[in-house]
């Protein structure tokens, strides 16, 4: 285990003496604070903070990050307050330590919820200072390196969390070396036997391949020398978890994956990268469609390189990555590679640092919009996709999105308001469905309309965390406003029966009832009524005084068809305007409209706490589905005849299925959308006019 003196010697190569002494001071403070504490392995506890600081020293992190690494468990494990750290080491270090510390003294229903809350707190600290996540990643890396002392169940839980959250975060920040180690250590802890078997197979394969690898390396070096290009050629090792993922995801045998030979060529300048590309394409034939230019269009995490695949000697596939030394440093350490050169003062951060800040800003926005910590962590996991597609706005700006993104994801990436008001899209100037996955190189144009709202069905196909979070947030707001509106109408309807109204009720009585129900605002009570969680009948009785007996309602409540998410139409009896109807108040769902004689509500039909008499408003709008059963003699072009008849009556067939009853009679089930009963009658009249129609029945489940 390296000592503090050995660490100080390493730090003195890139930090000043004063800064190194501050790191030493933080170490001695931590040593004293953790005095008497031991790790599971039996070592003194302070060995862990020292190891975390060594990992950050490998990345050449600044002295404040190293001090936070030394002190990162002090608040949590020793009872020393944040204020004490602030007095000793300054506000910046105290904030970093607090951001890394886990949540304590809070009880959660589940372990998942506790970890989600913990991550949520860390995300907020990241937004203030991105170094929080770098210290946390180093802390997690040392814990992963020393996992073997824990029980099997705890090992697997920590490994799973690392693979699901911390490895993707390291990838998102461009920290390739740490991601690889996270994945291999997590794989070993989750699947020890699989890891060992693949490791043995890799060692055997490398021994057998050594001669071919040396030949390819020599031919590539010779090719560069002929063209007068200075460059380092090295074989690239595939890591165990990467091999395992390819075997599982692409369903390939181990030999197929290991048959590909991978090399990396490091040069001094960007233009040399393209010269090398030309040279290797002359040496071996390139595989069509396998060239990627991540120098011109870097990945979302700042990664830059040229990728190409060649047909080598004897048809052996060769994967080649070409990059500069700076890009190599960037690929391995990501945001940490540029830490010493990060912009100070009022300058805007550049490159990876800017991308990382942008991502953290997006994470913070999701955190503010999410309903709870579990929903937030789900959104973040979705947002940590490893693959991207690159699409263009109509003005030529490049947008990076996760693989599988749709036009709705694109709209929310442009701006939240564009996403919320999106109604259609054009992909490469042609109208396309909003759910169509985008391909790299496409130009996407969003058609929006003022007053448009997000569609709940979008949640079935969006892939970005930002889109999912904003859609949910907009739907919650929409549902609340609609619930309040419906709740107010329901309560006033009952109060009208007693010659009263909500605005006539004394404010003291309303206030007393809100206190009794533990609600803050009258809107909260109206929302509960609109959602069916409280009955308007019961609330009205309490408002008017417990002893009051409410007479029958003054008349049915009019339904306009524009009530939105809090009003739905029962699928069992499919009511349409003109039908006699009744409303069933269902907890959490709002009002469900049934036919007056529907069997499903026959038992509660006359219970004023469960059902309410409804009528259709004169200005009711919308289209309503009705299922028809048509029996007719079998004939050629039957479906076309039915479709043209429904179309002639201005109806629309939503669904059609045919069941041949015998050789002569066919039974066709139609789901037709109509405006009201009069419109339905017109559709049925047109269908009856067809030759061979025997019977038409309106179906009810």
The 3-state DSSP class for residue 587 equals coil
Task: Compute the distance between CA of residue 301 and CA of residue 353 in angstroms, rounded to an integer.
Answer: 9
Task: Compute the distance between CA of residue 17 and CA of residue 23 in angstroms, rounded to an integer.
Answer: 10
In the chain, CATH 1.10.3210.10 sits at: 4-190
Q: How crowded is the C-beta side of 526, counted as CA atoms within 13 Å?
A: 20
Task: Compute the distance between CA of residue 460 and CA of residue 314 in angstroms, rounded to an integer.
Answer: 47
Q: What is the pLDDT of residues 316-372, one digit of tens each?
A: 788 899 999 888 887 777 776 655 444 334 344 455 666 666 666 666 666 666 666
C-beta separation of 318 from 284 below 8 A: yes
pLDDT for 431 beyond 80? yes
Task: Compute the distance between CA of residue 34 and CA of residue 188 in angstroms, rounded to an integer.
Answer: 30
pLDDT-wise least confident of 7-16, 447-456, 536-545, 551-560? 551-560
Task: Compute the distance between CA of residue 411 and CA of residue 429 in angstroms, rounded to an integer.
Answer: 16
What pLDDT, on the 0 to 100 scale, is given for residue 100?
A: 81
Catalytic residue set: 76-77
Is pLDDT larger for residue 380 or for residue 57? 57
Is pLDDT larger for residue 469 or for residue 237? 469
What pLDDT, on the 0 to 100 scale, is given for residue 181?
A: 92
CA-to-CA dists, residue 465 to 179, 369, 383, 639, angstroms: 21, 11, 5, 43
Q: What is the pLDDT of residues 622-648, one digit of tens each?
A: 788 899 999 888 888 888 888 889 888
Domain 194-336, architecture per CATH: 2-Layer Sandwich (3.30)
In the chain, CATH 3.30.70.260 sits at: 624-698
pLDDT-wise least confident of 109-113, 152-156, 356-360, 528-532? 109-113
- Give residues with Cβ within 8 angstroms of 77, minimum separation 6: 34, 37, 45
Task: Compute the distance between CA of residue 45 and CA of residue 73 in angstroms, rounded to an integer.
Answer: 10
What is the pLDDT averaged over residues 291-303? 81
Fold of 624-698: Alpha-Beta Plaits (3.30.70)
- Give residues with Cβ within 8 angstroms of 604, minimum separation 6: 584, 610, 611
Fold of 4-190: Hypothetical protein af1432 (1.10.3210)
CA-to-CA dists, residue 651 to 576, 670, 693, angstroms: 14, 11, 18
pTM of the predicted model over 0.75:
no
What pLDDT, on the 0 to 100 scale, is given for residue 340?
A: 44
pLDDT averaged over every residue in the chain: 81
C-beta separation of 666 from 660 below 8 A: yes
What pLDDT, on the 0 to 100 scale, is given for residue 21?
A: 92
C-beta separation of 594 from 651 below 8 A: no
What pLDDT, on the 0 to 100 scale, is given for residue 142?
A: 92
What pLDDT, on the 0 to 100 scale, is given for residue 618?
A: 83
What pLDDT, on the 0 to 100 scale, is given for residue 346?
A: 38
- Sign, CA dihedral 412-415-416-417, equals negative
Torsion of CA 674, 678, 679, 683, to 10 degrees: 110
In the chain, CATH 3.30.460.10 sits at: 194-336
**Continuous H helices in 101-238:** 111-128, 131-145, 152-161, 167-172, 176-190, 192-226
3-state secondary structure 486-500: HHHHHHHHHHHCCCC
């Amino acid at each position: 285990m390296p000592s503090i003196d050995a660490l100080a010697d390493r730090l003195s190569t890139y930090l000043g003496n004063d800064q190194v002494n501050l790191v030493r001071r933080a170490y001695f403070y931590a040593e004293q604070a953790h005095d008497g504490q031991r790790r599971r392995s039996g070592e003194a506890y302070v060995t862990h903070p020292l190891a975390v600081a060594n990992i950050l020293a490998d990345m050449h992190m600044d002295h404040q990050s190293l001090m936070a690494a030394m002190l990162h468990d002090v608040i949590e494990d020793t009872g020393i307050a944040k204020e004490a750290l602030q007095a000793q080491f300054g506000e910046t270090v105290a904030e970093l330590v607090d951001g890394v510390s886990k949540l304590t003294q809070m009880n959660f229903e589940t372990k998942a919820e506790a970890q989600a809350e913990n991550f949520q707190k860390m995300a907020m600290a990241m937004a203030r200072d991105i170094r929080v996540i770098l210290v946390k990643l180093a802390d997690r890396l040392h814990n992963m390196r020393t996992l073997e002392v824990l029980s099997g169940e705890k090992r697997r839980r920590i490994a799973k969390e690392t693979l699901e959250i911390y490895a993707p975060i390291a990838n998102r920040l461009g920290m390739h070396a740490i991601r690889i180690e996270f994945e291999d250590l997590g794989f070993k802890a989750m699947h020890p036997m699989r890891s060992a078997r693949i490791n043995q197979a890799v060692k055997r394969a490398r021994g057998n391949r050594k001669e071919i690898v040396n030949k390819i390396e020599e031919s590539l070096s010779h090719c560069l020398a002929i063209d007068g290009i200075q460059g380092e050629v090295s074989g690239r090792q595939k890591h165990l978890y990467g091999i395992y993922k390819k075997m599982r995801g692409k369903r390939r045998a181990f030999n197929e994956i290991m048959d590909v030979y991978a090399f990396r060529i490091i040069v001094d300048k960007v233009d040399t990268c393209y010269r090398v590309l030309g040279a290797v394409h002359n040496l071996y034939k390139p595989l069509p469609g396998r060239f990627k230019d991540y120098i011109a269009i870097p990945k979302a995490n700042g990664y830059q390189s040229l990728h190409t695949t060649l047909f080598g000697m004897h048809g052996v596939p060769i994967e080649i990555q070409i990059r500069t030394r700076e890009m190599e440093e960037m690929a391995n350490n990501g945001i940490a590679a540029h830490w010493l050169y990060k912009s100070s003062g009022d300058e805007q951060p550049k490159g990876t640092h800017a991308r990382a800040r942008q991502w953290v800003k997006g994470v913070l926005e999701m955190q503010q919009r999410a309903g709870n910590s579990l929903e937030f962590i789900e959104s973040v996991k979705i947002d940590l996709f490893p693959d991207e597609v690159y699409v263009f706005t109509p003005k030529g700006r490049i947008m990076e999105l996760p693989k599988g993104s749709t036009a709705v994801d694109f709209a929310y990436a442009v701006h939240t308001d564009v996403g919320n008001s999106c109604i259609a899209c054009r992909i490469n100037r042609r109208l396309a469905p909003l759910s169509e996955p985008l391909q790299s190189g496409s130009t996407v144009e969003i058609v929006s309309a003022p007053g448009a709202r997000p569609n709940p069905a979008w949640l079935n196909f969006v892939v970005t965390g930002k889109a999912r979070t904003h859609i949910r947030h907009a739907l919650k707001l929409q549902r609340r406003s609609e619930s309040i509106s419906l709740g107010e109408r329901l309560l006033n309807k009952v109060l009208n029966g007693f010659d009263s109204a909500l605005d006539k009720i004394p404010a003291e009585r309303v206030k007393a009832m809100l206190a009794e129900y533990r609600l803050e605002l009258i809107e909260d009570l109206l929302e509960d009524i609109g959602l069916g969680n409280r009955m308007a009948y019961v609330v009205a009785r309490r408002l008017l005084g417990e002893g009051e007996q409410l007479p029958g309602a003054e008349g049915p409540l009019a339904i306009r068809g524009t009530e939105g998410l809090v009003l739905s139409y029962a699928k069992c009896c499919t009511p349409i305007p003109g039908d006699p109807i009744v409303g069933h108040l269902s907890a959490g769902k709002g009002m469900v409209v049934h036919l007056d004689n529907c069997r499903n509500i026959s038992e509660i039909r006359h219970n004023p706490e469960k059902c309410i008499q409804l009528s259709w408003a004169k200005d009711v709008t919308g289209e309503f589905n009705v299922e028809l059963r048509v029996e007719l003699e079998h004939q050629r072009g039957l479906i076309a005849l039915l479709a043209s008849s429904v179309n002639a009556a201005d109806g629309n067939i939503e669904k059609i299925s045919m069941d041949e009853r015998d050789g002569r009679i066919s039974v066709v089930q139609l789901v037709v959308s109509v405006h009201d009963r009069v419109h339905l009658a017109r559709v049925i009249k047109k269908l009856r006019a067809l030759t061979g129609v025997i019977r038409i029945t309106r179906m009810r489940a």
